[in-house]
Structure 1
Amino acid sequence: MLTPCDPDSGMMDQLDKAAAAAETFHRANPDHLEMQDNLEMYRNMEGVKPGNFRDLEAVPHWEAYDEGTRLYQLEQFPQSIERLEAAVREYLGGLAECRAQCEGPYDFREYSYLEYQSHLYETISDHYVQVLSCNQDCVLELATKPGRASASPDFLPSHFKFLQYAYHKVANYDKALECSRTFLLFHPKDHSVLQNEAFYLSKLGADRAADIQPREEIKSYVKQSLLEKELLYYVMDTLGVPFNDPDAWTPPELIPQSIQKRLKAEKEEARKGMVERETAPNETRVESQGDMEILKASSPLFANLKVAIVSEQLNGSQRAVLDGVLSHEECAAIRRLANVAADSAKGYQGGPSADPSKDRIEGLTILRVLELAIDGVVDPDGARLYYEATVRTQTIVQNYFQLKAPPHVSFSHLLCRTAVTGHQENSGETSQALHAQNCLLDPEATACSKEPPAYAARDFSAFLYLNDEFEGGAFFFTNQDAETISAEIEPKCGRLVTFKSGAENPHGVQGVTGGQRCAVSLWFTLDRQHREKDRVRSETLMEQLFPPLPTSVGPVGSLPRHPSPPHPPHRGAPWYRVPGPRGRGQSTGNRRPRRGRGRGK
């Protein structure tokens, strides 16, 4: 663990190295609170310069990619394009270098000089298989961010998904079409990008668009990679030499049927093991209506609370739906806060896979709302009600899951998804891609890794809905295969969906096809170290606005209710913007697209 320098330790002359080491650790562990405090301390030390805060493990293509996506989220699209294009160039350069190194001496791991009896042609074949496997492993090496144990899925294709939309935002439809067609080389059936392609075609016209083709260097790479995969799968099928395909975009028809059957059987076996590991130790709760009856009797705030759907009815474990958390007046008051911010945001469309013809995602944190209340931009009573709704949800989660102490808020925000052009036809598209909250599902859902960028410290999720005047936008759970829908839930005012945040509860959100869907999204942790830092600041602002403020929330307590009066929208309230993929209830048998992860619900 890195720790601050002691002024008396003789290390003060190495503060530049300490700052660099802290920055390196923080880049790989952005949620580590102690290191955040260390960095803040170093910034305030005399002699520490901004240039000292550098990542010692930086890789050129990852530096450019991270900076490009950061600028993308800030809507600085011209600068984002520049960095993302640099990331593509650096990636391809790194790939060429890695592949060149694969052509080195024969180094078969199982080789034994005394025991090896193969003839010349067999030896050449062994070496060639090693080279091909090494070439494919380069994808994993380049897609693995320093400090992390596994590769980011679909790393190279994601560059072009960002770029096609960024070019759209600067009205460069030639490049937007080029990047969308380049992305389709990897995922030719991706619905959102196919729709984007059609949108760009409508802007350019058929004659002009006919001359715009995918990037040649990517076409060559895809062609070469598929040839290598075909050979490696053939060797795997005929000689039993293992091959771990690094890509999710490999066409299924390329994989021999015998291997597909074997991989399916292995996936089922691994999934069973994952279910046992993830659910057995946590299945400590016996759901009881009695717990909620005690909570209802504890305060008028919970008088209308009821458990609407339990885990068994949702065809899963550690999940529930509760109604009556908020009244219609309270839902309307909190939504008014969203409208204030939405007016000032002027129709922001967010997300790396955002579709110009689909819903946009906008969010507002409780800290920002309270700051706006201090500045007189929004109604203080509305801000207080928003805060109280989060405390109320915290109390319900504690009681429903029988936690000994209130869970700490890890992150929270008010999130609205709005259909851009009214009613859309493709309601089957997901607005929030399929994912598990605190771990990364692998492409075949055989494991769920708790490492960055997963929010591994999050233990419980809760989504408090504010309305139902919209079309689409259903929340859904899937089975452990992360494909088959196990339950869909209709959002409505005062409805709370809560569940454990692990691999036992893959979930997503269908696209909003008409109107606006709003919810207060919260994630809780049992580890105080990972609590939301803004929460402390929010409590301070609450004390300024409404002294005195209770310092703790008991198992059945909550703040007294202060209904918010109608408040007209204001301008000038900036959004906290949430990038995420584009995109009501009981059990179905439908299939979902491949999973992903994101923040909003």
Structure 2
Amino acid sequence: MAAGTVHRPVLVLLLGLVLVSGGAEALGHEAYGSLYQMGKEAYLEEDYRSCVNLLLQALQGRREFEQLLVECRHRCRQQAAGEPLLITDAADGELATFERLIRETRCLVQCHRERLGQHVQQFYDSAWADDEFRERKPYEYLQLCYYKTGEIQKAANAAFTVLLQQPNNEVMRENFKYYTTMEEVNNADIVSLEPQEHTELYVRGNAAYESERWPQVSRLMEEALDGFLEAERRCRTLCERFFPQGFNPDFVSNVANHFAYVLRCKLRCPEQLSTVAGNYLSDYLESHFHYLQFAYFKQNMLREACSNVANYLLFKPNDQDMLGNKQLYLKEEDVDESFFTPRADILEISRRIEKERKLDNYILEYFRFSDDDARKKGYGGHRAVQHEDGGRDVDIPPEGSARTGAGTLTASSGSAEVWVEGWRAAGFRTAEESREEQGVSDALLELHSRLTAGSTAPDVPGPRLDRVVLTSGEAELGGPRRLVADHLLTAGECQRLSDLLKTVGAVGDGYRRKNPLSKQEQLVGLSLGRLVASVDRGAASREDLQLLMEVSDAARLYVSRRWGVEPLYSSFTHLVSRTPVPGLNSSRPLEFSHPIHVDNCRLFNNGTCWPGGGAFIHRHFSAILYLNSDFDGGEFVFADIVSRKPTVRVQPRCGRLVAFSAGPENPHGVLAVRRGTRRALAMWFTRTGRQREEERLLADIYLRDSSALEVRRMVSLLERNFERADKLV
């Protein structure tokens, strides 16, 4: 029997345990991610009381879920360590290691099911929100919802909680300043809603030190130290939680990738726990020993003082002040080198940190590819202009120059759909899959089929594609399935579409805010559906609608033919402009109109990309068609997926098309517009027929027969929806 056929039943068996083991004491029916999303929606809908209740439930739900993870992990690790192994031969160490992991996994599955009941997957799917919880984003919503419900003291507490994690958050600083001037707020009662007990003990110990109450200093600092060590153990345990693997199918690479992620997470735990009263202390752990050695010295407890000197020197062996203290202690009667024995647990921690940092440095050294490495792999060899932020302008050949070596990559290892299939095979399920199954409405498909029966639309929009020139491909752009092409639009067409956007575009179209992606810019958008409604009321012409349909269809066909992807459907078409808000400082540091992201998965800070939490997993290719260049900034950039620093910039110009596959192989963004208005046509394409663009189908029907009763009903409904959406914006 082939090896591949042996593994799958094992996985199915383990997942069977997830699905059928008992569920006695469920944590709750709604996972914290769902509650958080509902809380944000309540905020946007101005239902502030529900916003408060939902966000508080989300915060409490996440605390309980994390406590469950910690308890299950500790229990199962101890249980697995105490069970006799099937593999006992010392020569089979690898098998024994994995047997321990399998036993621990079996225990974890049962433990999670006991507490989460039938809702276990909902809690796993909440991982998309973890970064926002760590940054205390829920409290940003909560402080305003508290303010709107008249609970001003709580609003001040929530704002203060955000500032402890984000001390440079200008908006929150202004809000907090405002709250502290209100009569309803007692400044002495302002507290963090996410208290860290060990830092509070540390602050009290520092106060006792200032007033020279040495017994209190030693007691409080010992308690603070123990609290920190327990918090670090908890943090390290939580680092071992759910991790989105990505699209690499190799077993060894996946194991190493997951381990490297966990290792870096664990190494960051001390840093995450070292913020005291809003200030990060780089030597937070060591400073406990500094306070303790002096407090014990003042109480004539020399053995304890010397032990803490030894503790301190484990982390800072060359600290001259502490080395001087050691020499002073050695001059005391009866004090010798044996007094300088560190605590066993502190010694173990220092050794562990040293080993983990050594391995982490190895990972950083050998798994970061330089530009030379990239060129060897075929993604380079062209002239580039370096920028301070690490990006470069693409060296686009002059018009009329020959294009050679533009090879097309056929491998699809970077496609998120491969990854999603892996999730499905493993028994995972995302909310997006429900939308994937629903897709475009059957009524619209039936109507479109009926009204277009017997007629065939031309596959190629006239000579438009014949004049398109490919100016940059994968090699110039530094990655797979990337291209830049020119002359898809004439100057007159660019101007016509720009005027159309200015005339009937809507502020915040497609979003619930006027400036959804950057607070420094105003977004104006125009979708095909909104344009249909505008044509119907006489604000735009049928020729305008026909032009937008033809141009976007030409872009789709160009992408389809360039990369041999058929069929390929339009998923969403959006004319968009971005303009800096008045008073914006054009000399500000690099910022983004649209931060670095991936179009069909949710990008995490560690560079992994998860097809959940609002990801448009049905989008397979993306494209931007520029309408103008008379503005400063606003360049399209490809970026490094981990650092999120731009690696390649593309300068906008009328008729220039940028296209790329929409998976994690192509993280990208848009730099901030500093002056003027950036106008472009954004397009997303899908290979899934059920996910084709409904508004495009309606636009096609409308152009064929705008008087049909079914068409009139759909257009009327569309107009009402836009009216409601505009009120929300």
Query: How far apart, CA to CA, are the structure 2 residues paired with 1:513 and 1:143?
Result: 47
Give the alignment partner of residue 84 of structure 1, picking from 38, 51, 56: 51
Secondary structure, counterpart of 1:216 in structure 2: coil
Q: 1:521 to 1:344 in 2, by over 3 A?
A: closer
Deviation of 1:161 after TM superposition, in Å, equals 3.9
- The answer to whether the aligner puts 1:112 opposite 2:82 as a matched pair is yes
- The answer to whether the aligner puts 1:400 opposite 2:562 as a matched pair is yes
TM-score by length of 2: 0.51
Deviation of 1:319 after TM superposition, in Å, equals 0.7
What's the counterpart of residue 442 of structure 1?
604
Query: How far apart, CA to CA, are the structure 1 residues paired with 2:648 and 2:545?
Result: 33
* % identity of equivalent residues: 22
Amino acid at match of 1:111: A
Alignment of 1:97-496 (within 5 A): 97-98=64-65, 106-107=75-76, 108-112=78-82, 145=122, 148=125, 150-156=127-133, 157-163=136-142, 179-188=158-167, 194-197=169-172, 200=175, 211=187, 216-220=192-196, 228-231=230-233, 245=265, 251=271, 256=353, 258-263=355-360, 265-266=362-363, 287=406, 299-302=462-465, 304-342=467-505, 349-350=513-514, 355=519, 358-403=520-565, 405-424=566-585, 425-445=587-607, 447-496=608-657
Asked if the contact 2:574/2:682 (under 8 Å) is kept, the reply is yes
Query: How far apart, CA to CA, are the structure 2 residues paired with 1:491 and 1:433?
Result: 17
Q: 1:183 to 1:334 in 2, by over 3 A?
A: farther
Asked if the contact 2:161/2:193 (under 8 Å) is kept, the reply is no
Could you give the per-residue CA deviations for residues 551-600 of structure 1, whole angstroms, max 9, x where no partner exists? xxxxxxxxxxxxxxxxxxxxx975968x99xxxxxxxxxxxxxxxxxxxx
Asked if the contact 1:419/1:514 (under 8 Å) is kept, the reply is yes
Could you give the per-residue CA deviations for residues 358-379 of structure 1, whole angstroms, max 9, x where no partner exists? 1133433212211221222323
Deviation of 1:385 after TM superposition, in Å, equals 1.7
Secondary structure, counterpart of 1:152 in structure 2: helix
Asked if the contact 2:599/2:619 (under 8 Å) is kept, the reply is yes
Query: How far apart, CA to CA, are the structure 2 residues paired with 1:202 and 1:421?
Result: 24
Asked if the contact 1:429/1:510 (under 8 Å) is kept, the reply is yes
Secondary structure, counterpart of 2:474 in structure 1: coil
Name stretches of at least 5 consecutive residues in structure 1 with no aligned partner: 1-56, 116-129, 273-279, 290-296, 548-571, 581-601
Amino acid at match of 2:137: S
Give the alignment partner of residue 662 of structure 2, picking from 493, 497, 501: 501
Query: How far apart, CA to CA, are the structure 2 residues paired with 1:234 and 1:345?
Result: 42
Amino acid at match of 1:499: F
Amino acid at match of 2:61: G
Q: 1:146 to 1:352 in 2, by over 3 A?
A: farther
Q: 1:213 to 1:506 in 2, by over 3 A?
A: farther
Could you give the per-residue CA deviations for residues 46-75 of structure 1, whole angstroms, max 9, x where no partner exists? xxxxxxxxxxx9506445433333345xx5
Q: 1:329 to 1:167 in 2, by over 3 A?
A: farther
TM-score by length of 1: 0.60
Amino acid at match of 2:52: E
Amino acid at match of 2:139: F
Secondary structure, counterpart of 1:398 in structure 2: helix
Q: 1:165 to 1:522 in 2, by over 3 A?
A: farther
Give the alignment partner of residue 70 of structure 1, picking from 31, 37, 41: 41
Asked if the contact 1:369/1:383 (under 8 Å) is kept, the reply is yes
Asked if the contact 1:160/1:182 (under 8 Å) is kept, the reply is yes
Secondary structure, counterpart of 1:458 in structure 2: coil
Asked if the contact 1:162/1:352 (under 8 Å) is kept, the reply is no
* Comparing 199-208 and 317-326, the one that deviates more: 199-208
| Structure of higher RCO (CA pairs closer than 8 Å, 6+ residues apart) | 1
* Comparing 257-266 and 483-492, the one that deviates more: 257-266
Could you give the per-residue CA deviations for residues 232-266 of structure 1, whole angstroms, max 9, x where no partner exists? 68999xxx9x7784999973768956534534645
Q: 1:477 to 1:214 in 2, by over 3 A?
A: farther
Query: How far apart, CA to CA, are the structure 1 residues paired with 2:486 and 2:724?
Result: 29
Asked if the contact 1:182/1:214 (under 8 Å) is kept, the reply is no
Deviation of 1:499 after TM superposition, in Å, equals 0.7
| CA root-mean-square deviation | 5.0
Asked if the contact 1:163/1:176 (under 8 Å) is kept, the reply is yes
Q: 1:217 to 1:169 in 2, by over 3 A?
A: closer
Q: 1:99 to 1:390 in 2, by over 3 A?
A: closer
Asked if the contact 2:35/2:58 (under 8 Å) is kept, the reply is no
Amino acid at match of 2:125: R
Secondary structure, counterpart of 1:110 in structure 2: helix
Secondary structure, counterpart of 2:678 in structure 1: strand
Q: 1:155 to 1:481 in 2, by over 3 A?
A: closer
What's the counterpart of residue 599 of structure 1?
none
Secondary structure, counterpart of 2:125 in structure 1: coil
Amino acid at match of 1:369: L
The structure having more radius of gyration, on CA atoms, is 2
Deviation of 1:181 after TM superposition, in Å, equals 4.3
Asked if the contact 1:307/1:320 (under 8 Å) is kept, the reply is yes
* Comparing 515-524 and 423-432, the one that deviates more: 423-432
Deviation of 1:497 after TM superposition, in Å, equals 0.8
Amino acid at match of 1:519: A
Query: How far apart, CA to CA, are the structure 2 residues paired with 1:351 and 1:221?
Result: 39
Amino acid at match of 2:468: L
Amino acid at match of 1:83: S
Deviation of 1:427 after TM superposition, in Å, equals 4.5
Could you give the per-residue CA deviations for residues 359-405 of structure 1, whole angstroms, max 9, x where no partner exists? 133433212211221222323322222222211211221222233x3
Query: How far apart, CA to CA, are the structure 2 residues paired with 1:226 and 1:510?
Result: 40
The count of corresponding residues between Structure 1 and Structure 2 is 445
Q: 1:344 to 1:287 in 2, by over 3 A?
A: closer
Give the alignment partner of residue 93 of structure 1, picking from 60, 66, 71: 60
Secondary structure, counterpart of 1:411 in structure 2: strand
Deviation of 1:460 after TM superposition, in Å, equals 1.0
Query: How far apart, CA to CA, are the structure 2 residues paired with 1:68 and 1:489?
Result: 38
